Amino acid sequence: MRTFVTLDGLRGVAALSIVVLHCHRYFGDIGKPSAGLAVDLFFVLSGFVLAYAYEAKLPTGASAFLKARLVRLYPLYLLGTVLGIVEALAILHTGLGSVEWTWQRFWISLPFSFAMLPGPDKTMFPFDGVMWSIFFELFINVVWALFWKPLQSTRTLVLTIVSCGMGLAISCLYWDSLTGLGTSWATVVGGGFRVGYSFFLGVLFFRFHRRWKLPKLPPLLLLLGLPAVLFLEMPVFGQLAAALFVLPWFVLLGSQVEPKGLLESAARNLGLASYAVYAIHKRLYLLTYGLVLKLGIDLAGYAPWIGIAFAFLLVVGCLALNRIYDQPARAWLAARIGAGRSQVLKGATQAP
């Protein structure tokens, strides 16, 4: 199977943009709220590469597809959640921390989090807040698996995209936010429109990316251009325009070209590390910052250099984590639930 290496790199750059946004004490004021739009790019990427890997197989293998998705996503989801549990226990024990925890909140949230379900807590996933997007990823995968037959019609697919886009625009007007949609129970409906638009647009792009004559931009330009867009200061209407029209073009244009040499290697590795980076970065940031601060050292004074070092070590560590934890855990889980091993151990772009 083909791997879309430029798309691997885009996913990695998007994940690092989220790191810059969330680890603000390490990076200073570089990150902007608009970096949260990286999640919308994730959804477009997911629709594109999953259509490549699985769309032809859905008529006979929808259940196998969902098992493969669960196996692909759960081990790192679990790791991020466990790190969040450690952080919550530390806060409960010391009374120190930026998040307010009670034992009641802890025990109520625990079973939902292990089951990969949003709990009654207003933040949905209190142990690792970024996992709201993984929940919506699974949600849209289930929708696709259930309604694959009507969605094979390009007309139905386009109507679905347009409807979700309109719902997304209305949600932005109502909540005066785009990057917050889907992150809490209050905006869960907007989150559904958000993932629906981007994911199914990615599916549409896959169907037609070979037919459309598009300019072949240098991969490096796309990889550098993405953070340039994500770190712009945007009002909500600018964020909406970026999510609807601008960011999807990075996926479409990235599917047309492949990097060479060192850039190819860097893009592949960024893609391999991207999900682990996304899943554990915030918990590691808060745990390390709190620990070092307790020792009397304020790392914020070393921004952004401490952030650059943190991001580099995070990527290197996540590449190692992929080999020593994620792949063995996926293989173990696949054997337990009857998912095909070959379907869950593919490269980052083939099975994100």
Share of the chain above pLDDT 70, in %: 96
Domain of 196 in residue numbering reads as 5-344
Greater model confidence, 297 or 275: 275
- 21 within some domain: yes
- 161 within some domain: yes
In 3D space, the residue among 80, 278, 133 whose CA is nearest the CA of residue 88 turns out to be 80
- 114 within some domain: yes
Distance (Å) of CA 149 to CA 60, 69, 156: 11, 19, 10
- 350 within some domain: no
Sign of CA dihedral 314, 273, 143, 328: negative
pLDDT digits (tens, 9 = 90+) for 267-285: 999 999 999 999 999 999 9
- 118 within some domain: yes
pLDDT digits (tens, 9 = 90+) for 51-71: 999 999 998 889 999 999 999
pLDDT for position 349: 43
- 351 within some domain: no
- 352 within some domain: no
Tokens representing 151 are 């969605």
Q: How many domains does the chain have?
A: 1
Q: Round to whole Å and give the CA distance between 243 and 80.
A: 26
Split at pLDDT 50, 70, 90, the class of 348 is: very low
What is the helix (H) or strand (E) element at residue 248, kind and residue range?
helix 247-254
The shares of helix, strand and coil residues in the chain, as percent rounded to the nearest 5, are 75, 0, 25
- Given the structure tokens 């209050």, which residue do they identify? 186
pLDDT for position 53: 93
Is-above-0.85 flag for pTM?
yes
pLDDT for position 344: 46
- Given the structure tokens 């952080």, which residue do they identify? 87
3-state secondary structure 165-181: HHHHHHHHHHHCCCCCC
pLDDT for position 340: 61
